[in-house]
Structures are given as C-alpha cells and as structure tokens.
C-alpha cells in the first residue's frame, strides 16, 4: 500500500469517527434538556463514563478535571441565577408532573459523564432556590458562599470524624470552635464539653440522655429498674417537637413530657412550671429535666431562662436551653439581652449554626457545662474501634462520646465561615437580620389595611395575616381570623405557582393559619422586604 492510500484511509477513518460521534450525540437516548448544550464536554471526552476517570482509571486526571470543571460551571450558573432578583425562586410542578419531567430512573448500565452533567443541571433547574433573596420560607434561608466552599472541601476530604488518626485538622478545629462557643455561652474559659450532631433534634436528645445519665448513672445499664419511680420532663407548649420526641425515644413516654402553658407571647410561664413540677412530685414522679426554648419555631419566643433556672435549682432538675434557633443572638451585644440572659446557668445548650448564622446544612452543636459526661454517658467500650495504645494522645478521639459512631464533618464549613466573618462579622449579621425584621414590622404597621401583625417579634420570625380587599375595614373577630386563615394556603399556592416568592404559614394552638416570615438570609435587603409585601398584595388582593 502506498503512502497516498494510507493517507486516504486515515482521512476516511477520521470522517467515520466524526460521523459516529455526531450520531451518538444526537441520537442518544438521554433526554434533551434545555441546558444540555451549555455544559458539553469536549469531543474527546464526550462519550466517557465513570470508569474512564479517577479513581477507576489512574490515567484519567484530564477527563476528571474537565468533568468536574463542567459541574462547577453548572453550580456557578446556579449561584448567579439565584442571586438575580428577576429570576424565579422556583418552578413548581406537582409530584406526578415532576416525575414526567425528570428522568430519575436507575439504569442497569451507567450513563455517560455528559448525561451526568445534564442530570445535574436538570436537578438544579427544578430545585427551589433557598438562597434567593425572595425565599423567606424556612429558618435556614440563604447560601453563605464561604461556608459552601468549606462544604466542597469537606466533600473532597471525605473523612469521618471519629478519630484524630483520620481527621487530625478537623478534630482540632472542632476543639477550637466549640470552646469558643462555650465561652460565648458564658462558661468560664469555655470549660465543658460539646459535640456536633446531625441536627437540633439529635442535639436535644444528647441533652436528655446526659441529664438522665448524670442523675441516674445506673440507668445506662439497668434502665428504669435503676430508678424508684417515673421520670418526668418539662417543656413549654411552644417548644420544638423534638423535645417531646426525647420522651418517646428514651422510653419515658410522651405522657411524661409535661407541656407547660405559655403566655400570650409564647413564653413559658414559670409559675405554671413550678405548679406542674409539684403536681407530678405529689404523684410520686421524679422531675429531672426542664427544657427552656430560646427562639421557638413559629413565633420566635424566648422562655425566661433566669426564672426557669431558679426553679430547676430549687427542684434539682437539669436545665437544658434549646437555642437551636435563637442561639445566634448570643453573638450580638445588642440583642443577646434580655432574650438569652441566664443561659450560662444551663447544664446544656443546643445551638444550630446552620440557622441564624447561615452555616450550610447541617451544622448543629450541643454543649455541656460538665466535662466528661458525654463519654461516660455514651461510650459502649468498643475497644476494637477506639484503642488507647495509639501513637498520639487519644483524648482527641471523639468516636466514643457519640451515639452515631461515624460522624459527618460539619466543622470545616463553620470554621472557615467564622474565619471569614470574624466574631464581629457574625455580630453585624445578627444585628442586620434583626434590623430588617424591625423594618418589616414598621412597614406592616404602615399598611394596616393590608396587613395584620400578630405580635411584636423577639426574633426574625414575623407573624402576620394578609388582608385581601374583601376583608379590609372589617372588625377583627374570630370569623375574620378564620377567613384570613383560609386564604393562607391559597395565597401560598399562588406564590409557588408564580414562582416569585416563598413565605411559610401554619396554624398554632391559638390561631388558624397565619404567615410566618423568616429573615435569616444575608441576601435580603429592605427592598426585598418591600417586594415581599407588594407581591403578596398583587397575588392575593382578590382572594
């Protein structure tokens, strides 16, 4: 074969390759999403699969990098769109419709990297933008990008938090950050012990378990047989439901979680607490645990910690403060008092940086005044995991203190965020959120025909009714409240269908449905609050 022929064959092979490539690209069974073409891998990598990149293919770094960079493109576009006030907060579809729009199937044979990029961009297309400045729906709103960068690194480091051996830097970060938080709570030199838990509910469970262990050390081995009577715990009727859940999980039964009435502002009434303690004691029960909520879920109320602490002292009860929601205000000199005054008297404190402080989900902490309790309560002496004959000082190993064994690394995103903001930055953030809430309250009061403020907020929860035209200038009776409650789900539906706004609503024990607006995102400005109020009116005036 002469050179010319070889060249010709080469050219033909290239043409055939080209044709096959294009055919595969245009006839692939993958669903064609609008965004597909934007995030295309280079021709060279267009048909690669997971097995062509690291770690399966040790030579696959270039393709790995290209794939990951395209993912990052998708994420950056999402971040950019989310911060654009003209973009939608969500594109709502009912579950059945959504199932038709998406290709969620788990295949027998894996899809290409290119299809994974389509999967990623489609997923984000239909995801609710929780960091959008017009998302006011949850206690955790917003997207702190430093914390997010921290979470990307956390994923890449992919380690478990049980020992210093495999997570040395992160374990030390936990020590530094948690000690700082205990100092802020007000325990001298940050003494005590703490752990990061998967959410406030599990944090509260840790407190319950430690309290029971402290007061009845034999409970761990012997259970109820170690106690001469029925254990009883107390919390306000406004508390987070996870407090009651402790009674169920821990085997007390929810009948033995006494719900103490609260005043019209949602704060536990200390006198009623004392009466109920005495009532149970008279029955031969053993009151051992009182939960004070610092920032209730719906209205953001703060129980009077000092008065509750006095009662706990008098009746020898463990005082737990559930500051999962309100704890962030500890960072603000202006707003800390009187709301959290006395918190240093607590035996344990739950405080979720993933709420007011804006750390990425999940980031929850539980703190104990007494050091050593966590380990003595929770260790199961799994010598095969937590040996003491190690190279280093094993007091840094945490695996034996927790009920989870393995723990996700929830510290790095918080540590990095705190480095970025400094304590001053967090204080500024808290003050800003409170000022924006005050702004919202002022604006609502300026529009008494359109909005009805239910109560003056102590936190960033702003509870109100929206008044459609037909319910304006009407006496505020139980009938009107009922009618206002009925429009909440309808107006919420309109928000979701228009995709312009998300604000939550719920009933409570005293009222039918009402709106609860949360300002916990650093993206929100006064103009966004104005938008919110105007948009609800636009969507709801005819209801």
- Shortest Cβ distance from residue 296 to its own copies (Å)? 10
Interface stretch with its own copies, choices 45-53, 273-281, 283-291, 463-471 (CB under 8 A): 45-53
Contact with its own copies (CB under 8 A): which of 6, 20, 191, 382? 382
Per CB under 8 A, 126 contacts its own copies? yes
Per CB under 8 A, 283 contacts its own copies? no
Nearer to its own copies, 127 or 446 (CB): 127
* Residue 336 near residue 185, CB atoms below 8 Å: no
| SS3 of 114-168 | HHHHHHHHHHHHHCCCCCCCCEECCCCCCCCHHHHHHHHHHHHHCCCCCCCCCCH
- Shortest Cβ distance from residue 114 to its own copies (Å)? 11
Interface stretch with its own copies, choices 1-9, 152-160, 276-284, 440-448 (CB under 8 A): 152-160
Site for its own copies in 239-258 (CB under 8 A): 240-242, 244-245, 247-256
Interface stretch with its own copies, choices 148-156, 259-267, 453-461, 466-474 (CB under 8 A): 148-156
Nearer to its own copies, 9 or 224 (CB): 224
Rounded Cα–Cα distance for residues 215 and 87 (Å):
55
Interface stretch with its own copies, choices 33-41, 329-337, 416-424, 448-456 (CB under 8 A): 416-424
Rounded Cα–Cα distance for residues 539 and 91 (Å):
16
Rounded Cα–Cα distance for residues 541 and 488 (Å):
12
- Shortest Cβ distance from residue 270 to its own copies (Å)? 23
Site for its own copies in 473-512 (CB under 8 A): 489, 492-493, 496-497, 502, 505-508
Nearer to its own copies, 2 or 59 (CB): 59
Rounded Cα–Cα distance for residues 413 and 177 (Å):
11
Per CB under 8 A, 280 contacts its own copies? no
Interface stretch with its own copies, choices 14-22, 307-315, 326-334, 412-420 (CB under 8 A): 412-420
- Encoded one letter per residue, x for contact with its own copies by CB under 8 A and - for no contact, window 201-240 reads xx--x---x---------xxxxxxxx---x---------x
Percentages helix, strand, coil for the chain (3-state, rounded to 5) are 50, 10, 40
Rounded Cα–Cα distance for residues 55 and 167 (Å):
21
Per CB under 8 A, 323 contacts its own copies? no
Per CB under 8 A, 166 contacts its own copies? yes
Interface stretch with its own copies, choices 38-46, 407-415, 442-450, 454-462 (CB under 8 A): 407-415
Contact with its own copies (CB under 8 A): which of 3, 37, 189, 381? 381
Per CB under 8 A, 131 contacts its own copies? yes
* Residue 195 near residue 365, CB atoms below 8 Å: yes
Site for its own copies in 57-116 (CB under 8 A): 58, 61, 64-65, 67-69, 71-72, 74-76, 78-80, 83, 92-96, 98-99, 102, 104-111, 113, 115-116
Per CB under 8 A, 372 contacts its own copies? no
Nearer to its own copies, 270 or 348 (CB): 348
Rounded Cα–Cα distance for residues 488 and 266 (Å):
21
- Across 358-473, where does the E strand assignment appear? 364-368, 451-453, 461-466
Interface stretch with its own copies, choices 2-10, 127-135, 266-274, 469-477 (CB under 8 A): 127-135
Q: How far is CA 470 from CA 448, 450, 477, in A?
A: 14, 11, 14
Site for its own copies in 1-40 (CB under 8 A): none
DSSP 460: S
Nearer to its own copies, 18 or 497 (CB): 497
In the numeric block, the tokens 């105007």 are attached to 534
Q: How far is CA 380 from CA 377, 383, 404, 407, in A?
A: 9, 9, 12, 16
| 499: region left, alpha or beta (phi > 0 left; psi from -120 to 50 alpha) | left
Nearer to its own copies, 40 or 83 (CB): 83
DSSP for 185-211? HT-GGG-SEEEEESSHHHHHHHHHHHH
Nearer to its own copies, 199 or 468 (CB): 199
- Shortest Cβ distance from residue 495 to its own copies (Å)? 10
Per CB under 8 A, 189 contacts its own copies? no
Q: Is the peptide bond between 197 and the residue preceding it cis, with omega within 30 degrees of 0?
A: no
Residues in contact with its own copies, counted by CB under 8 A, come to a total of: 167
The contacts of residue 355 (CB under 8 Å, 6+ apart) are 139, 140, 324, 325, 327, 328, 520
Sheet holding 257-260, edge to edge: 193-197, 364-368, 348-351, 318-322, 286-293, 231-236, 257-260
Rounded Cα–Cα distance for residues 343 and 457 (Å):
20
∠ Cα 376 382 388 (to 5°): 80
Per CB under 8 A, 519 contacts its own copies? no
Nearer to its own copies, 13 or 98 (CB): 98
Contact with its own copies (CB under 8 A): which of 10, 217, 229, 422? 422
Residue 317 CA, chain-centre distance (Å), reads: 29
Per CB under 8 A, 457 contacts its own copies? no
Per CB under 8 A, 168 contacts its own copies? yes
Nearer to its own copies, 57 or 310 (CB): 57
């Amino acid at each position: 074969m002469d050179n010319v022929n070889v060249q010709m064959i080469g050219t033909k092979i290239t043409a055939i390759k080209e044709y096959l490539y294009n055919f595969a690209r245009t006839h692939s069974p993958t669903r064609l999403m609008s965004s597909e073409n934007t995030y295309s891998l280079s021709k060279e990598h267009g048909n690669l699969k997971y097995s062509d990149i690291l770690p399966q293919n040790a030579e696959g770094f270039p393709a790995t990098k290209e794939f990951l960079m395209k993912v990052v493109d998708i994420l950056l576009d999402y971040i950019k769109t989310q911060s654009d006030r003209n973009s939608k907060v969500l594109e709502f579809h009912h579950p059945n419709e959504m199932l038709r729009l998406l290709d969620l199937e788990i295949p027998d044979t894996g899809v290409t990297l290119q299809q994974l990029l389509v999967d990623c961009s489609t997923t984000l297309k239909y995801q609710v933008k929780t960091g959008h400045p017009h998302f006011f729906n949850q206690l955790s709103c917003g997207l702190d990008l430093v914390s997010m960068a921290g979470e990307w690194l956390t994923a890449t480091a992919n380690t478990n938090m049980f020992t210093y051996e495999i997570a040395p830097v992160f374990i030390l970060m936990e020590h530094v950050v948690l000690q700082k938080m205990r100092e802020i709570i007000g325990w001298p030199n940050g003494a005590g012990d703490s752990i990061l838990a998967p959410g406030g509910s599990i944090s509260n469970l840790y407190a319950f378990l430690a309290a029971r262990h402290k007061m009845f050390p034999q409970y761990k081995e012997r259970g109820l047989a170690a106690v001469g009577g029925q254990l009883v715990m107390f919390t306000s009727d406004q508390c987070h439901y996870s407090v009651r859940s402790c009674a169920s999980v821990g085997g007390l039964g929810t009948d033995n979680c006494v719900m103490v009435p609260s005043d019209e502002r949602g704060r536990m009434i200390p006198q009623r607490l004392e009466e109920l303690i005495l009532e149970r004691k008279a029955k031969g029960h053993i009151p051992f645990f009182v939960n004070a909520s610092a920032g209730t879920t719906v209205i953001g109320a703060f129980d009077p910690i000092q008065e509750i602490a006095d009662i706990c002292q008098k009746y020898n009860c463990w005082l737990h403060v559930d500051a999962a929601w309100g704890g962030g205000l500890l960072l603000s000199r202006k707003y800390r008092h009187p709301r959290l005054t006395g918190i240093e008297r607590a035996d344990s404190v739950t405080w979720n940086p993933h709420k007011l402080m804006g750390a990425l989900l999940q980031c929850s902490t539980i703190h104990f005044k007494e050091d050593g309790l966590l380990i003595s309560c929770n260790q199961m002496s799994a010598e095969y995991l937590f040996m003491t004959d190690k190279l280093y000082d094993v007091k840094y190993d945490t695996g034996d203190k927790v009920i989870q064994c393995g723990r996700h690394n929830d510290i790095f995103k918080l540590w990095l965020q705190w480095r970025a903001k400094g304590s001053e930055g967090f204080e500024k953030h808290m003050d800003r959120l409170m000022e924006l809430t005050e702004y919202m309250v002022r604006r609502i009061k300026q529009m008494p025909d359109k909005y009805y403020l239910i109560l003056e907020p102590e936190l960033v929860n702003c509870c109100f009714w929206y008044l459609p035209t037909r319910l304006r200038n009407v006496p505020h009776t139980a009938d009107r409240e009922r009618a206002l409650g009925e429009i909440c789900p309808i107006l919420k539906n309109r928000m979701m269908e228009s995709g312009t706004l998300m604000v939550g609503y719920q009933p409570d024990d005293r009222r039918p449905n009402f709106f609860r607006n949360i300002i916990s995102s650093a993206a929100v400005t006064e103009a966004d609050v104005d938008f919110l109020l105007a948009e609800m009116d636009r969507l709801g005036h005819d209801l």
